[in-house]
Chain A
Amino acid sequence: MSHDNSKPLMRFLLLFSRQGKLRLQKWFTPMSDREKKKIIRDMTTMVLARQPRSCNFLHWKDLKIIYKRYASLYFCLAIESQENELLALEVIHRYVELLDKYFGNVCELDIIFNFEKAYFILDEFLMGGEIQETSKQVVNRCIESSDMLQETMEEYMSKPAF
């Protein structure tokens, strides 16, 4: 077993556009900014170079990269080499479903302009690289009630979302 045991199952999750613009990044292990930048660069070039209709798995260093494209966005999740690829795809899909539910037919712009919400949803679903809550309903309920608690920034700024 070559893997470093102190690392969580999921290492990072990146969302980027077809043009390679990063839309969201979540690091489940602490990493320096330089490392992060290098990984982001590697990921975008690797994933964007893939032929359409290829399988969604890649090997990168000792990690497995699972990516999936939804509309114009690529979701890219790095997991340990022993982890289950299909489960990782489910995690990605579940996150997309959660976003979809929250934003109502989510699109890239939703995530660009409300990126903090996208993070909140993700934090509700995953925690420290582990699945925190498997039920969609529970996650949605949590997000809704946190939002209730939060007087929205829009209210304060009294402007439309975008």
Chain B
Amino acid sequence: MALKIVKGSIDRMFDKNLQDLVRGIRNHKEDEAKYISTCIDEIKQELKQDNIAVKANAVCKLTYLQMLGYDVSWAAFNIVEVMSSSKFTYKRIGYLAASQCFHESTDVIMLTTNQIRKDLSSPNQYDTGVALTGLSCFVTPDLARDLANDIMTLVSHGDCVKRKRCSVLIMYKVFLKYPESLRPAFPRLKEKLEDPDPGVQSAAVNVICELARRNPKNYLSLAPLFFKLMTSSTNNWVLIKIIKLFGALTPLEPRLGKKLIEPLTNLIHSTSAMSLLYECVNTVIAGQYCSSVGSVVLCVQKLRILIEDSDQNLKYLGLLAMSKILKTHPKSVQSHKDLILQCLDDKDESIRLRALDLLYGMVSKKNLMEIVKKLMLHVDKAEGTTYRDELLTKIIDICSQSNYQYITNFEWSVSQPVTPHPPGISVSWWTIRVFAVAQMATLLDNAHLLTGSMQRNGICEVLYAAAWICGEFSEHLENPLQTLEAMLRPKVATLPGHIQAVYVQNAAKLFATVLKSQEGNTDSTTAQETSQLMIDRLPLFVQSANLEVQERASCILQLVKYIQKLQQKDVEVAEEVIALFAGELNPVAPKAQKKVPVPEGLDLDAWINEPPSESESEDEQPKAIFAKEEPKHSRPRHTEVDEKELARRREARKQEQANNPFYIKASPSSQKVYQDAPGVEHIPVVQIDLSVPLKVPGLPMSDQYVKLEEERRQKERAEKKKKEKKKRKEKRSGRGKKHDSGPESEEDITPAHMVDIVTEEMPEVRCVSLQIQFSTSRIFNELSPSSFWVFNEKKSSKHKKKKQKKEKEEKEKKKKKKKHHHHHHHSDGGGEESVQNGTVEEEEPLPVSVYDIQGNLQDGSQVVVSVIFENKCDSFLKSMEFNVLDSLNSKLQRPEGSGPHDGLTVPFQLPPGVSNEARFVFTVQSIVMPQKLKGTLTFIVKDSSTHEKLDFKLHFTCTSYLITTPCYSDAFAKLLESGDLKGSSVRLEGVNMPFHHLLARICFHHHFSVVERIDSCASMYSRSIQGHHVCLLVKTSGQTVSIDAKCDEPTLLGNVLDEIKQTFSQC
């Protein structure tokens, strides 16, 4: 020991090790750069020594300094030296340094070729390992070319698994740098896809997937092989890769899509690994062309669960994927509007922004008002300026989307302070002009509120529109003077130039209106004051830097000055000023022209000038037509012609026309239509369905509109329901169909508060929802390989056998079955013991065995029970009927129309020795108590054609109503603090198992998840299908386990605790 210390101090005299360096840097925080430069000097000295150990130490320190951002490229050669040391200790350091410091342009890399080759073929697998790792970081095209063969040798003849795996991976890098090597190497790589070692296999999958994504066409032939791997592999890392690969292949081979949809849906159903689930969902979404409506519905449901999750990451990804679905299946997303709106309340800004994006796409005529109203609430609450700006921009985008196509209630829209109402609206929807003008005037009055912070984003654009509307339609203003005053406030000068210009111009229009209204008023002070106001305020704009503003302002200023002069002379000027802005913009709908009836007698296709050869009276006919078109102009000319002549001509023309088949005969009324000058009122305007009367006094707030709109819709809905009821009565059997088409029609989209929006026609999808509940155990909590399986509720049966003979046989079979199941679902032996969550107690061992039940749950009141029927006798069984005696609380769901005691036909027959599974749905009202239901199974044995009966009991335990739900510790603490929960506790004696086994057992059998674990104490959480929280605090000391529990339903808690106790008493 003493010797060591002496040796150490001698060493320390001439060099420091890495730890010294790190410590030194930490101690020299003030003069770090200086300290490091002395260190680098020392290192340079050390590198000059011959001792490889000293050199390696120096290189190790350099690697650290490199990370801190210091240039160490000057030591590249020394790194190569250390790499080529024969001792693994130094070689490892050398390769690490190289992989950190070398890049393609490092010239010493070419010196390493032989060294790497030597290391690759070294008998020591670790030498090979570090060499491969290093190579993966700094491989150059030259190295790839020179070493490709050596690597290939490793791939095919590598004796050790690790070497094989690494070399397979490195091949990808080599292919990239030296593509020529791919062709000869590919067959060997393909072989590795079926390597017995899972590590090598997954490496090969990795490499081929990456290659295939680069160039999918060449890898289509491998699709069947990958398909096999996908359906057989249990490694989630590999599965994700393969699914990605298929995502790249399907666009080239659409048939693949059809084939994939089934395994993908299966994975979505069964996996508990969120990463895999997300990958599957994404692939299904991306391959829209191959996905049926059912699978999209499934994806949306899964995504809803992600979004509802308390984990921010899942929420974010769920929203992200939702927006992808939205592009192709907007309707399936729209029903989740409530959820998306909830996300706007999220603490995380990136989630809120995602939700906003989604909302933009979800807007329809029906929900626009509601969505915008919600968004407006958020604008008030929003804290961050970026987020608020984003919100406002989105509101504008939402409203103006596709040229206002979703806005049904323009009055409402105008009352929204931030909605942009480009003049377009007010012009085209002239019916609401009065209203709009009033709104805009208020807006201008309050403009100071809007300016300031809003100026940065385009919100002040609305003022542009407001000013224009008020100016143009100033005759509708109640108090034009006040508005004029508002428009000339000095603050306006801070607005952008183009808005100021509009302000100035429209101030002039308002001025004209004010003059007009004062005309005839004996007291001319108001008019004069107004002129003075203009003259006082306009110079501000004349000074504007904006040319447009300046020009307009100076023009108008001079004009006003002139008017003032005239006013002083008591000249009436208003009429002339008004004339400046005369002419009203009339709304013309895009299709208006079509609606103008073609006047009778006007043939637009006819020649205006008759082709010369056709007729003799060529100069008359055109005149006649011309006269019809513009009667006012032509009339004076006609008066010159004497009456007789006229009558003669008319007669002649009539005759001519009668003989001419190309003429449409005139009717007496045709002239009349044309007498009236076409007025504004005659141009048809697109009808607006205004649900709110126009005469709303004052300015109603937007939520009032929403309310009104809602009421209206409710009424509609109620009426519809009535109708539907009637229909239903008439046609009971047709019910299913209507439901099916439900989600397609926009009318019927109801907020999907529940996962279960699927109808009876789709039993698979229904089960999905329950699988989801189970699979909520997340990967982040438990990352062990075993976390990849589903906590599938699993029950074995308890048989009470009367006949001893059969018992043995059956047990054997049971074991077999069980093993099979376990193999399928999980690899550890955790589920070996039978659980009493739900059992089937068999009274008589008749040839049919109801012997496995998986109590499955979904929404608050339903339980799905899977029953496996196995025919153990030698005869064919048919006409099986499953029946359960309903209790008040639990009822078997029977098809509509069947009586309450009818049995359910099992949808299959059983040949001897065959088993099959059937599922039955039960409705459960209260879940606080365990239940036992008696049932019978009747069937016919084909050979003897006798009716047989088998009695059993179904046992629903309280545990089976719990869903494994992860919970964060802070949420958990909040829950406990809330005081809503009632406590209870239980003690278990003589439990002889490690604490983590105990926890695993509670998790597994009773669907809890561990919230937090500290030494021999753990908090656990679960939730019932009806939303009861169950919290446990499990402590262990010696063989005693105490469980303190809290739940908002004491009865449920008591029963769950009893069941836990029972579980542990059995072992």
Contacts and interface: CB of A to CB of B under 8 A. Distances in A.
A18 B79 CA distance: 32
B173 interface: yes
A158 interface: yes
Contact of B68 (A22, A31, A93): A22
A55 B350 contact: yes
B240 interface: yes
Nearest to A153: B17
B169 A51 contact: no
Contacts of A142: 129, 162
Given A84-B278, A116-B60, A157-B11, A128 B92 contact: no
A135 interface: yes
B289 interface: no
A138 B64 CA distance: 27
B89 A85 contact: no
A119 to B, nearest CB: 5
B195 to A, nearest CB: 14
Interface in A114-141: 115-116, 119-120, 123-124, 127-128, 130-136, 138
A5 interface: yes
Contacts of A93: 780, 783
A107 interface: no
B162 A86 contact: no
B783 A55 contact: no
A31 B138 CA distance: 10
B170 A116 contact: no
**Which interface residue of A28, A31, A134 has the most chain B CB atoms within 10 A?**
A134
Interface residues of B, number: 82
B1025 to A, nearest CB: 26
Given A87-B275, A115-B64, A116-B63, A57 B92 contact: no
A151 B783 contact: no
Contact of A32 (B103, B166, B210, B350): B103
Contacts of B780: 89, 93
Interface stretch (B308-316, B518-526, B697-705, B800-808): B308-316
Contact of A55 (B214, B235, B244, B313): B313
Interface residues of A, number: 64
Interface string B759-791: 000000000000000000001100111000000
Contacts of B317: 57, 85-86
Contact of B783 (A37, A57, A97): A97
Interface stretch (B199-207, B653-661, B678-686): B199-207
Interface string B327-353: 000000000000000000001111100
Nearest to A15: B67
A112 B22 contact: yes
B106 to A, nearest CB: 9
Interface in B292-321: 312-313, 315-317
Most chain B CB inside 10 Å of its own CB: which residue of A55, A116, A120, A161: A55
Contact of A116 (B18, B126, B199): B18
Interface in B923-952: none
Interface in A55-100: 55-58, 82, 84-87, 89-90, 93-94, 97
B64 A51 contact: no
Interface stretch (B2-10, B898-906, B1010-1018): B2-10
A24 B67 contact: yes
Nearest to B88: A149
A115 B64 CA distance: 8
The winner among B7, B64, B88, B137 for most chain A CB atoms within 10 A is: B137
B93 A116 contact: yes
A106 to B, nearest CB: 15
B871 interface: no
B88 A133 contact: no
Interface string B89-115: 100110010011011110000000000
A31 B103 CA distance: 7
Contacts of A22: 67-69
A112 to B, nearest CB: 6
> Could you tell me the dominant secondary structure of chain B's interface residues?
helix
B199 A133 contact: yes
B88 A150 contact: yes
Nearest to B124: A149
B57 A56 contact: no
B350 A150 contact: no
B235 A9 contact: no
A54 interface: yes
A113 interface: yes
A89 B1037 CA distance: 36
A146 interface: yes
B851 interface: no
B313 A56 contact: yes
B19 A159 contact: yes
Nearest to B354: A55
Contacts of A5: 213-214
Given A113-B22, A119-B96, A123-B133, A128 B315 contact: no
Contact of A53 (B8, B67, B278, B348): B348
Contacts of A89: 275, 313, 780
B169 A128 contact: yes
B464 interface: no
A40 to B, nearest CB: 8
Max chain A CB contacts within 10 Å: which of B23, B64, B172, B350?
B350
Given A113-B18, A157-B17, A54 B173 contact: no
Interface in B160-187: 162, 165-166, 169-170, 172-173, 176
A131 B199 contact: no
Contact of A146 (B126, B240, B316): B126
B1044 interface: no
A27 B100 CA distance: 8
B783 A162 contact: no
B253 interface: no
A113 B19 contact: yes
Contacts of A30: 102-104, 137-138
Contact of A87 (B17, B169, B237): B237
Contacts of A9: 210
B18 A87 contact: no
Given A153-B18, A158-B4, A128 B173 contact: yes
Interface centre among A51, A131, A157, A161 (most CB of B within 10 A): A157
A133 B8 contact: no
A145 interface: yes
Contacts of B315: 55
Contacts of A159: 8, 12, 17, 19
B71 interface: yes
Interface in B59-74: 60, 63-64, 67-69, 71, 73
Contacts of B214: 5
Contacts of A82: 244
Contacts of A31: 103
A84 B275 contact: yes
A127 B166 contact: yes
B11 to A, nearest CB: 6
A11 B748 CA distance: 47
Interface string A19-48: 000111101101111000100100000000
Given A9-B210, A33-B73, 6 more contacts: A5-B214, A8-B210, A51-B347, A89-B780, A97-B783, A159-B19
22 contacts: A22-B68, A28-B137, A30-B104, A30-B138, A53-B312, A53-B348, A54-B351, A86-B313, A116-B63, A123-B133, A130-B172, A130-B206, A131-B237, A135-B199, A135-B785, A136-B784, A138-B199, A142-B129, A149-B89, A151-B89, A158-B8, A159-B8
Interface of B: 4-5, 7-8, 11-12, 17-19, 22-23, 53, 57, 60, 63-64, 67-69, 71, 73, 88-89, 92-93, 96, 99-100, 102-105, 124, 126, 129-130, 132-133, 136-138, 162, 165-166, 169-170, 172-173, 176, 199, 202-203, 206-207, 210, 213-214, 235, 237-238, 240, 244, 274-275, 278-279, 282, 312-313, 315-317, 347-351, 779-780, 783-785
